[in-house]
């Protein structure tokens, strides 16, 4: 959100949601990365504060609430007119999720009354805590905060995960190579052509982890997925596909996942 105009984003989201019949699922994040201030312009506040300010404005806009009441002449509408984002898509706000990379972001999502999806990079892990354990702890905190504030059950929680079942030896070797690359090169692994060289690599700062890659035979992958505390705590899984994979590779991967692993995930 740091570099988004919240009103224009709300307009684009509303239009998109209406075009697809109310099926848009939108995740937003308030990460503190300020690497592109030279392009988009710096803000007077710190980057996290600015991102959260824009997020609040976006949620107000996408929810259909008034953004301004005309209070004088020359504003293009009669005095007293409430100005809202148009078009408005009812129900879209309930399908906005916080893309959370930390425990605090997960709790903030509950406080804002929006959904939660945890990403493939998390920070704030305790010493000795695994990625999945921290993921599960964050999800539990989100649900607790939601219930305490709204006295209702929270919406479904999603997690992003690399789940690569390999029915053939050749595919298993390909997925194992991607796993090795991700563990040794970090977020620069399998970058698509033309991608920027990442600043953060496999040697991550203390308390930061990238998600594991679940690969092997379909039975091995299913066993590992079911045993992972983060995935077990979630309601939905969003597949994180290797960035350099092409269309045919991704279609094969999704087809294999749908046939071998997905039926056992209830």
Question: Got the DSSP string for 59-95?
Answer: HHHHTT--SEE--STTSSS-TTPEE--SS--TTSGGG
Domain containing residue 197: 101-266
Does 4 fall in a domain? yes
- Predicted confidence (pLDDT) at residue 195 exceeds the cutoff of 90: no
How far apart CA 196 and CA 211 sit, in angstroms, is: 21
pTM as predicted? 0.88
- Residue 74 shares a structural domain with residue 106: no
Condensed to tens digits (0 to 9), the pLDDT of residues 13-57 reads: 999 999 999 999 999 988 766 667 778 777 777 778 888 999 999
- Residue 55 shares a structural domain with residue 176: no
The 3-state secondary structure of 182-218 reads HHHHHHHCCCCCCCCCCCCCCCCCCCEEECCEEEECH
- Residue 75 shares a structural domain with residue 142: no
- Predicted confidence (pLDDT) at residue 200 exceeds the cutoff of 60: no
How far apart CA 38 and CA 266 sit, in angstroms, is: 46
Give the model's pLDDT for residue 28.
92
Condensed to tens digits (0 to 9), the pLDDT of residues 46-86 reads: 778 888 999 999 999 999 999 999 999 888 889 999 999 99
Give the model's pLDDT for residue 202.
59
Domain stop point among 57, 89, 121: 89
Condensed to tens digits (0 to 9), the pLDDT of residues 132-183 reads: 999 999 999 999 999 999 999 999 999 999 999 999 999 999 999 999 988 8
Which helix (H) or strand (E) segment is 157 a member of? strand 157-165
The CATH number for 122's domain is 3.20.20.30
Domain stop point among 89, 113, 145: 89
Does 249 fall in a domain? yes
Residue 23 near residue 94, CB atoms below 8 Å: no
Computed on alpha carbons and rounded to an integer, the radius of gyration of the chain in Å comes to 21
- State mean pLDDT over 242-250: 92
- Residue 123 shares a structural domain with residue 49: no
- Residue 121 shares a structural domain with residue 226: yes
- Residue 124 shares a structural domain with residue 157: yes
Does 83 fall in a domain? yes
Give the model's pLDDT for residue 203.
64
With a pLDDT cut of 90, the percent of the chain lying above it is 70
- Residue 85 shares a structural domain with residue 106: no
- Residue 150 shares a structural domain with residue 240: yes
- Residue 165 shares a structural domain with residue 255: yes
Give the model's pLDDT for residue 37.
78
Does 95 fall in a domain? no
The label of the residue with tokens 């984003």 reads 9
Domain stop point among 64, 89, 114: 89
Residue 187 near residue 193, CB atoms below 8 Å: no
- Residue 176 shares a structural domain with residue 55: no
Does 94 fall in a domain? no
Q: What is the overall mean pLDDT for the chain?
A: 90
Structure token pair of residue 67: 């953004």
Q: How many domains, the chain?
A: 2
Condensed to tens digits (0 to 9), the pLDDT of residues 74-127 reads: 888 899 999 999 999 999 999 999 999 999 999 999 999 999 999 888 988 998
Residue 124 near residue 142, CB atoms below 8 Å: no
- Predicted confidence (pLDDT) at residue 190 exceeds the cutoff of 70: no
Does 191 fall in a domain? yes
- Residue 57 shares a structural domain with residue 145: no
- Residue 142 shares a structural domain with residue 203: yes
- The alpha carbon of 206 is separated from its chain's Cα centroid by a whole number of angstroms, namely 22
């Amino acid at each position: 959100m740091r570099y988004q105009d919240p009103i224009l984003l709300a307009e684009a989201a509303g239009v998109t949601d209406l075009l697809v019949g109310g099926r848009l699922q939108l995740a937003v994040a308030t990460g503190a990365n300020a690497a592109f201030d030279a392009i988009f312009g710096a803000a007077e506040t710190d980057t996290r504060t600015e991102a959260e300010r824009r997020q609040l404005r976006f949620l107000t806009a996408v929810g259909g609430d008034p953004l301004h009441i005309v209070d004088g002449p020359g504003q293009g509408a009669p005095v007293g007119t409430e100005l809202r984002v148009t078009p408005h898509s009812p129900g879209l706000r309930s399908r906005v999720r916080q893309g959370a990379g930390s425990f605090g972001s997960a709790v903030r999502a509950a406080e804002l009354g929006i959904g939660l999806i945890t990403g493939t990079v998390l920070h704030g892990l305790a010493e000795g805590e695994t990625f999945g354990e921290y993921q599960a702890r964050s999800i539990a905190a989100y649900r607790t905060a939601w219930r305490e504030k709204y006295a209702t059950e929270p919406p479904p929680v999603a997690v992003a995960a690399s789940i690569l079942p390999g029915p053939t030896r050749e595919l298993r070797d390909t997925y194992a190579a991607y796993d090795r690359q991700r563990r040794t090169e970090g977020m620069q692994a399998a970058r698509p052509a033309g991608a920027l060289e990442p600043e953060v690599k496999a040697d991550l700062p203390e308390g930061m982890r990238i998600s594991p890659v679940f690969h092997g035979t379909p039975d091995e992958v299913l066993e590992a997925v079911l045993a992972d505390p983060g995935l077990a705590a979630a309601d939905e899984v969003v597949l994180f596909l290797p960035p350099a994979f092409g269309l045919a590779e991704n279609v094969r991967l999704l087809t294999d996942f749908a046939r071998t692993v997905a039926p056992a995930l209830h």
